[in-house]
Amino acid sequence: MSKLLVFGHLNPDTDAIGAAIAYAHFLNQIGEETEAVALGTPNDETRFALEHFNVPVPRVIEQAAPEVERVALVDHNEFAQSVADIRDVQIDYVVDHHRIANFETAGPLYYRAEPIGSTSSVLFKLYQEKGIEIPTDVAGMMLSAIISDTLLFKSPTCTPEDVKIAQQLAEIAQVDVNEYGIQMLKAGADVSARSAMDIVDGDAKTFDMNGHKVRIGQVNTVGFVDILKRKAEFLDVMQSELSKHDYAIFLLVITDILENDSIGLVVGGDTTPVTKAFDQAITDNQLNLPQIVSRKKQVVPPLTDAYMS
């Protein structure tokens, strides 16, 4: 059987990287020859996790077809969020926890998706079902992914299953969940040395909303004062990207990981859907997003509804 590449979405976050590493190991144990790769450079939070658990940084690819005929997707299914030549390879596996949109394959495949806080939580279940032992370093990356996606269990996407699984993974990884989690999140929230482009687009995803290309980025921080000093920089980059890629809007969600509140910066020709989705006025390209921390559950659904109505 030919080699298979395993990867998460573009602009990978900790779950995209951690899930790729975990699923590649899982598939190897059931007879596949795999390699976990990434569709972008890991962010500071993910690098903290990789270094803490002494896991090599996955190599970055821009295309899959020149190397392999078969791939496995984790933490995404939408082709707009995947490798550039996704239509030129055979998708044999998908493990995810997002909505299913604009996805089809020519042949049958293994597809597992659950509405829980992290793809790595779904993967933990697969390991348990097959009776496969999770190595310490892999458990550490899976734990990091759950902490990241649930903001240390504070996100509305978090379920009791995620909390229970994280505790079990912490035992395997030999760390204290809260102590390690706070260290990791703070490592990712220090944006002082990051470029405006990296902050704006480093974790951005493109969504098709009723025929409109909507770009949504998100960055975690501690407090809003310092990061908003760079607001003009961010808006310039967002406007440039909007024009270059013909986005309907570009929304950057800035999330305070300690207070569990967000602020949105938005550019676009018609920002009415944003106002409608969140029932908040936009002033000087900025709006308040109180108690919003999850792009998947609290940003994408209401914005999709606004574009549909």
* Residues near 38 by beta carbon (within 8 Å), at least 6 away in sequence: 7, 8, 12, 16, 17, 20, 57, 58, 59, 60, 61
| Cα–Cα dist 104/29, whole Å | 27
The reported pTM is 0.83
Architecture of domain 4-189: Alpha-Beta Complex (3.90)
Q: At what angle do helices 136-150 and 160-173 cross, to 10 degrees?
A: 150
Confidence at residue 30, expressed as pLDDT on a 0 to 100 scale: 97
The CA distance from 39 to 284, in Å, is 34
Phi-psi region of 151 (alpha: psi -120 to 50; beta: other; left: phi over 0): left
Q: What's at 132, amino acid-wise?
A: I
Output the pLDDT for position 191. 87
Residue 153 in tokens: 């269990």
Residue at token pair 């269990």 = 153
Q: What is the pLDDT of residues 16-41, one digit of tens each?
A: 999 999 999 999 999 999 999 999 99
> Per-residue pLDDT averaged across 220-246, rounded?
95
For the chain, domain boundaries: 4-189, 196-308
Say which residue the tokens 């108690």 belong to: 291
d(CA 201, CA 195): 10
Give CA–CA dist 119/20, Å, rounded. 10
Assigned superfamily of 196-308: DHHA2 domain (3.10.310.20)
What confidence score (pLDDT) does residue 202 get?
84
- Cα pseudo-dihedral 35, 208, 111, 104, rounded to 10: -100
Q: For the residues 199-204, what does the mean pLDDT come to? A: 90
Note the pLDDT of residue 1. 64
Tell me the CA end-to-end span of the chain in Å, nearest whole number. 48
Give DSSP secondary structure letters for 232-247. Answer: HHHHHHHHHHHHHHT-
* Average of per-residue pLDDT values in the chain: 95
- What confidence tens digit (pLDDT) does each residue in 59-106 have? 999 999 999 999 999 999 999 999 999 999 999 999 999 999 989 999
